[in-house]
Structure 1
């Protein structure tokens, strides 16, 4: 599985460079923990805005949730590719995926708020779609029903497989 995932990562990196020569992917390391926590907090901050906690309590809570999410991914998705998206060698997001025999699971794709809306997510998802089509696989993901990324997934032809409580489980195949 690791070799297949590496091929996915290599092809995704090529698609990013075509979109913007300053973009690249690299494997996440333990030294990236502070960025991963900051990215998680950036993507979830609005959800905590109405909560009447001090800002430090919100930041501590989000850091804890980020660490729990990372532990969950590592435990439940062995062999997954945990990649950072970089522009000019500075992390701006992450892409987590796991390639199996018949399915590629897009576990997580997240960009800093300032990076959203510039086409990076679409480039990555379209590149994944092209690869799974070549391999005769399905591309699946979980997404919250109110997540703005739902519009992107609809435009790219994903269909609802199942509502799983707080997440929609979506799939795409050629």
Structure 2
């Protein structure tokens, strides 16, 4: 991630909130102001609380299609955020990325992988198929964990 990626990242963030935005009575400028505020707050939070994270832009054929924010801890690898543009969703890319992360975690000391996922996020079914289980109810989110088989 570089400073020049922020516009893409903001658009990507908005794509993850479109369903929610469609249910508001706001006009377009109000929606965009909300997105700008939320994206900025999220970005600042992530930067502050995950100082050693990898901030990765996912590309396919030289085109930006997503983001992966990821941090390696002593006992766990934490997916801070993963998102793909709508055109890249439901094509197996998320599963392939998760498989790579799982292989990496298993090869680096048999580490678990954790991620917070909104309960209404359609990707939760992918995490379950990949072997992630709910380990903590965090209100709107569930903390999911994958543990490698030994």
Q: TM-score, normalised by structure 1?
A: 0.82
Residue number among 68, 73, 81 corresponding to 1:100 in the alignment: 73
Which of the two has greater helix per residue? 1
The structure showing larger relative contact order (alpha-carbon pairs under 8 Å, at least 6 residues apart) is: 1
Kindly indicate whether the alpha-carbon contact (under 8 Å) linking 1:160 and 1:171 is maintained by their aligned counterparts in 2: yes
Cα distance in structure 2, aligned partners of 1:78 and 1:126: 25
For this pair of structures, how many residues does the alignment match?
A: 147
By how many angstroms is 1:88 displaced? 2.2
What is the Cα-based RMSD across aligned positions, in Å? Answer: 0.8
> CA deviation digits over 1:65-84, x for unaligned, max 9?
11111100000001100100
Q: TM-score, normalised by structure 2?
A: 0.95
Cα distance in structure 1, aligned partners of 2:82 and 2:31: 22
Q: List, as ranges, runs of 4+ consecutive aligned residues in structure 1 with deviation greater than 6 Å.
A: none
Partner in structure 2 of residue 114 of structure 1: 87
**Structure 2: which 5+ residue stretches go unaligned?**
none
**Structure 1: which 5+ residue stretches go unaligned?**
1-27
Partner in structure 1 of residue 38 of structure 2: 65
By how many angstroms is 1:52 displaced? 0.5
